[in-house]
Amino acid sequence: MLVGVELLPSSGSDLGSGSFDIYTVPHEWRSYDEETQEDEPLPGQLVVCLTGVHQREFTPMGTGEWDFGESPVYPATHSFRVYEARTGEAVATFVIDSDLDAYSSCPSALRIPIDSGTPGMAQGVKSETFAAELEPHVMADLG
């Protein structure tokens, strides 16, 4: 599941993060496609946006490594908003405290201005944690 960042005049974030995060959804949220003979995500009825990432602690929980050096990874709180795809109506919000290891929290690519220093990165959220928070909304939509 791809979760986009809701574009607001103020980013709602105080730590570096990629422009999107990818989460793996549970197998039961997928359907079997006879043509491709593969599991496919069920047709989307919900849109989930990351609305903010905020540093929870001042002490890094680990370090992410880059070609140009290292970045401290800080515990973070991730805020999400869920919308109904058909109407655009906001149906839920939820907040998750980060729980991913430092290495996995660093995106594969990072764009920073030259001479801006090494950014602090937000600790990420495990797919399982994200799915557990989203499940009541998905199952209500499927039901």
Residues 3-45 pLDDT 10s: 444 433 344 455 544 444 566 666 666 666 667 766 665 566 7
pTM of the model: 0.73
Residue 135 and residue 29: Cα distance in Å, rounded? 9
The residue extents of the domains of the chain are: 2-142
- 39 close to 30: Cβ distance less than 8 angstroms: yes
According to DSSP, residue 28 is labeled G
Average pLDDT, the chain: 75
Kindly tell me the sign of the dihedral angle through the C-alpha atoms of 108, 112, 114, 117: negative
